[in-house]
Amino acid sequence: MWIANYWWLVIPGLLLGFYAQIKLSSTYNRYARVGTSRGLTGAEAARSILDASGLYDVPVGEVPGHLTDHYDPAKKELFLSSENYRGNSVAAVGVAAHES
């Protein structure tokens, strides 16, 4: 009996998660086509934010994959996916800023 009640709690969470993922992908794809006014890349934006915060010793690296951007606390390094590391779109800079 408790299993039937359990699914009523899980299904709304899964649906909300799927909805959030769809919205995130849609918004990212829309702004991936809009360039920054200065032509700033994601790597340059991340480096600028880290430097402004006094985090000169945190390197910014490139990692393969789509939206695989993350900070690795074990390595103390910020990793940006290739499209965000090299990209100069509003989406690339926004993701880099978020991770920084």
Confirm whether pTM is higher than 0.95.
no
Q: Is pLDDT of 2 > 80?
A: no
H or E stretch covering 26: helix 2-31
Q: What are the boundaries of each domain within the chain?
A: 2-99
Q: Calculate what percentage of the chain has a pLDDT beyond 90.
A: 87
Annotated active-site residue 83? The verdict is no
Q: pLDDT tens, 12-41?
A: 899 999 999 999 999 999 999 999 999 999
Alpha-carbon distance of 94 to 66, in angstroms, equals 15
Q: pLDDT tens, 51-76?
A: 999 999 999 999 999 999 999 999 99
Give the per-residue pLDDT at 37.
92
* Residue at 83: amino acid letter: E
Point out the catalytic residue in the list 44, 62, 77, 99: 99
